[in-house]
Structure 1
Amino acid sequence: MENATRRAGMTGRLLPITATSRFVAASLAGCAALCAAPAVHAAAADDEELQKKLANPVADLITVPIQYSANLNTGPLDKTQHTLNIQPVYPLKLNQEWSLINRAIVPILSNPALASGQDRENGLGDILYQGFFSPTAKPGGLIWGVGPALQLKTATDERLGSGKWAIGPTAVALKQEGPWSIGLLATQLWSFAGDGDRQSVNQLQLQPILSYRLSPKNTIGYAGIVTANWKEDRSSQRWTVPLGVTYSILTRPKGMQPVNFVFGGGYNVIRPDDASNWFVRFQVNFIFPK
């Protein structure tokens, strides 16, 4: 009887302690969840804001996008052209109201042979610099920038570039509402120096900006740059009009700056005879603190 009473007494003391410990544990877990919720929402808001900046060519953001493209069925032999574009962007604050967004496109090319027996040509193409003077954007307002564009005669072989120095204006206009980013980046180039035996440059480039944020880390968008070679007399050979799509994923590797990955591809619905029909694309955006 005494042993039974002691066991019952011990049981009577343990039950309240166990119930209390469970209550405390549940309370701590609830507090932890409540404390973590604002952090999760803050991180999601940060990711959405970063995605908006990535969709904005004149954002106050230092990035180094590295873009690989495979242009299928290029040239008279229908071979693949490989392009690796290194595109650093560095914004410079001029004052409280204006910024200069410096952007370069450095192409590393692998162009297929143009005739049987000819080797593939690999090397550096013509580097393009674009500078956008952009006012500080007002929330919900039109984002825009305008400035000069300069194409450098840097190609390591005549098959990799125009053989010309070219200059012209470049401009961008963008509207961002909710998950949408809609705009256009336009560049017109005219040659002013270079190889006198090569065709002059008179080219328009139109880069539509169309993207939709699916989530704080995922976005779909349009892929492609519309070009017009005004030196081409035949209208059927003047325009290249792509129709493509991209899917991007924003990541935050532990101990590193955010990195954005972009996958895409498309079809040139209008193109010159020897231009590529299909293209596939992969891009990595390295983002740096400012």
Structure 2
Amino acid sequence: MWLFGAPVLAAAGIALGADAPDAAQANNPLANMTAFNMQNYYIGELTESDEEANQFWFRYAKPFSLGESKWLLRASLPVNTMPVAPTGGHHTAIGDLNLFTAYLIDTGNPAVSFGIGPQLTAPTAGDDRLGSEKWSAGLVNVMFDASSPQFQYGYLASWQASFAGEDDREDVNVAAFQPFLFYQLGGGTYLRAAPIWVYNLENDNYSVPLGIGVGQVVKRGTTVYNFFIEPQFSVADKGPGQPEWQIFFALNLQFLN
């Protein structure tokens, strides 16, 4: 996606590239700024069915304060396109809404962000087959280290379990870990790897993808545009409906003020 985005911005008179601090913070999920992300996973092949699927995410993040404490609220809503058995074909609908709030802990280093807090998933799916039909809650922990202007890294770890919902649906008990690795090439261009490893504690199914991608950060006024594409391939998986390979691409926006 970044391959198409950069020339369009250049044609509009936007200078390509970004200041080093902006490039280093462009992928920080705990950055102290409002953000709006549009992210897409095109899944070329699912385990056991060989069907394709797609998941498009709207994500909004907003920092806020409670007294002297600093927090970040993030809301994520997917639009799922999935094969549906036994009728066949693909169905598209919004999925389950996820919210988390992270308490931002002062690490003593302004380049290192660390947050921990609760998360909640609501059964908002427009099609029952494309959601869990369960209310779930759990914890999220995020760390991001931008001490180096060239190499940034971190992780997002989460766990959630269902506590209410339809009795005839499988309970939710899922842990996920997403490592972040970003290497700045200069001029706002960077290499990236940010797969999500998921383990289902309810049925022992799991998905472990790996991949490497490229992105471009562009600053215009008080908005930072971040385009990227990252192909990912499964190196270990168990259970039906896991991605054998997928392409992760997005446009992330950060509003400096």
Q: TM-score, normalised by structure 2?
A: 0.86
Which one has the bigger helix percentage?
1
Deviation at 1:104, TM superposition (A): 1.2
Residue 271 of structure 1: SS of its match in structure 2? Answer: strand
Deviation at 1:61, TM superposition (A): 1.5
Q: How does 1:194-273 map to 2 (within 5 A)?
A: 194-233=165-204, 238-252=205-219, 257-273=223-239
Q: How does 1:103-252 map to 2 (within 5 A)?
A: 103-115=74-86, 117-139=87-109, 142-178=112-148, 179-233=150-204, 238-252=205-219
- Retained in 1: the 8 A contact 2:45–2:244? yes
Residues 246-290 of structure 1, C-alpha deviations (whole Å, 9 max, x = no match): 21101235x783311011111011112432201012100122232
- Retained in 2: the 8 A contact 1:200–1:231? yes
Deviation at 1:126, TM superposition (A): 0.7
2: CA distance between counterparts of 1:258 and 1:182?
Answer: 19
2: CA distance between counterparts of 1:165 and 1:248?
Answer: 35
Residue 103 of structure 2: SS of its match in structure 1? Answer: strand
Amino acid of the residue matched to residue 153 of structure 2?
I
Cα separation, partners in 2 of 1:131 and 1:120, compared to 1, 3 Å:
same
Q: Which has the larger radius of gyration?
A: 1
- Retained in 2: the 8 A contact 1:76–1:114? no
Tell me the equivalent position of 2:10: none
Aligned partner of 2:51 among 79, 104, 113: 79
Cα separation, partners in 2 of 1:242 and 1:47, compared to 1, 3 Å:
same
Deviation at 1:207, TM superposition (A): 1.0
2: CA distance between counterparts of 1:211 and 1:161?
Answer: 32
What is the count of residue pairs matched by the alignment?
241
With 136-145 and 224-233 compared, the bigger mean Cα shift is at: 136-145
Q: CA RMSD in A?
A: 2.3
Residue 162 of structure 1: SS of its match in structure 2? Answer: coil
Which one has the bigger strand percentage?
2
2: CA distance between counterparts of 1:212 and 1:195?
Answer: 45
Please list every run of 5 or more consecutive structure 1 residues that lacks an aligned counterpart in the other structure.
Answer: 1-42
2: CA distance between counterparts of 1:76 and 1:159?
Answer: 18
Q: TM-score, normalised by structure 1?
A: 0.76
Please list every run of 5 or more consecutive structure 2 residues that lacks an aligned counterpart in the other structure.
Answer: 1-14
1: CA distance between counterparts of 2:111 and 2:24?
Answer: 14
- Retained in 2: the 8 A contact 1:53–1:61? no
Q: How does 1:27-46 map to 2 (within 5 A)?
A: none
Aligned partner of 2:247 among 257, 267, 280: 280
State the identity as a percent. Answer: 26
Amino acid of the residue matched to residue 199 of structure 1?
E
Tell me the equivalent position of 2:64: 92
Deviation at 1:205, TM superposition (A): 1.0
User: Does residue 61 of structure 1 match 2:33?
Assistant: yes
Amino acid of the residue matched to residue 250 of structure 1?
V
Deviation at 1:45, TM superposition (A): 10
- Retained in 2: the 8 A contact 1:223–1:266? no
- Retained in 2: the 8 A contact 1:74–1:112? no
2: CA distance between counterparts of 1:201 and 1:226?
Answer: 16
Deviation at 1:119, TM superposition (A): 3.0
Residue 52 of structure 2: SS of its match in structure 1? Answer: strand
- Retained in 2: the 8 A contact 1:169–1:189? yes
Amino acid of the residue matched to residue 49 of structure 1?
P
1: CA distance between counterparts of 2:65 and 2:184?
Answer: 28
Deviation at 1:202, TM superposition (A): 0.6
| Larger relative contact order (Cα-Cα within 8 Å, sequence gap ≥ 6) | 2
